[in-house]
A and B are shown apart, each in its own frame.
Chain A
Amino acid sequence: MLKLEARPQPSKAMSIASPLVALAITVLIGIGLFVLLGKDPLKGLQMFFVEPVKSGYALAELSVKAVPLVLIALGLAVCFRSNLWNIGAEGQFVLGALAGGWVAMQADEHTGRWIVAAILVAGVLGGMLWGAIVALLRDRFNANEILVSLMLVYVADMLLNWLVYGPWKDPHGYNFPQSVTFAAATRIPRLIDGWRLNIGALIALAAVAGCWLFLFRTYRGFQLQVGGLAPAAARYAGFSSRTALWTALLMSGGMAGLAGALEAAGPLGQLTPYVPAGYGFAAIIVAFVGRLHPVGIVFSAVLMSMFYIGGELAQSRLGLPKSITGVFQGLLLFALLACDTLIHYRLRWAAAQPRPAVKEA
């Protein structure tokens, strides 16, 4: 009989292997799923795991999805490690897009390229503003940050809709709910002509390094995490829980806002009701699959982007419903949670029952 047995210490190897095993399980179940749907499983897997990475162009497209996920998930990792449950990154993302978009709309054909920096800064500030509301309500009134941050997502959506249906609607846009197309100067600089890969990728990589340094090499980052792991120990040490609250929420809000501005002035080029694409929520999965670790988040964001692109390809080429993306994301998360058991436990073959009175070695 297989038996779960507590390990004396959590296994380091297993905490790295667990996402890989989870991925393997996801792939296996995916194959079963394709067979059941009457599709060639090899072709199905190809859509998800080969097509999105088979060429430079495909990789560039992958990065378009992965960059916002990485940025948002990094901020969330800081939050979650501080035991603050900001699940409203989607709203902070929208606010970043709105703030960045507003700056972009001020530009005309004479504006210099410096406007890009202003757009990104505005995006960060917009996201921070949305995070600050959560922090303020929690700090001042002890409001639950999970509810507040989630509700603010819908407020942000309403705000976006009001703007693009009202004051910011393009007068020459045939009454479509969308803003003017931003001036060329506002376009986030691309790294390679013809590909949508832009400097957002470099910013994301720098953010990964910055986040790693913050979490593991600064006293402030240490204090935040102690507050999350053991609040009584943080009080004993004299680490301020208010500082932690504000730092974490402003950081994660700012990161989501930055992603929003990159998205608005990058692939979108204008504001539409379709700015919120679910990155803020998907990033929660990305953060956890990446073990709340900056480097892990890069891998999990890439994986998640492969699911997005694979899902679209499966829809257009194999005629599978697009919701297959969600199925894959869900499978991965479930498999991961199951595999994580093995970090703290190990499997052992054991006799069904200890037989009393029989001495054994």
Chain B
Amino acid sequence: MESEMVTAAKMIGAGLAVIALAGVGVGIGNIFSSLVSSIARNPAARGEVFGIGILGFALTEAIALFALLISFLILFT
């Protein structure tokens, strides 16, 4: 049936779309790794560096959500 194939294709497309989350995982790991390193080198900088680190995390997470958004769009429309 046409409709079954379309549904199957949607599922495959949605699955492929979230492969991008691998890159985001690496990015977030990178941010927190450098956050921990910089606090370890200079514990006094904790307050400032923490704010920038959280901002970086949120911006990287946004990319994850762009990918998730495309996946949902493919799956549900």
Say whether A associates with B.
Answer: no
Chain A positions within 8 Å of B, measured between CB atoms, are none
Chain B positions within 8 Å of A, measured between CB atoms, are none
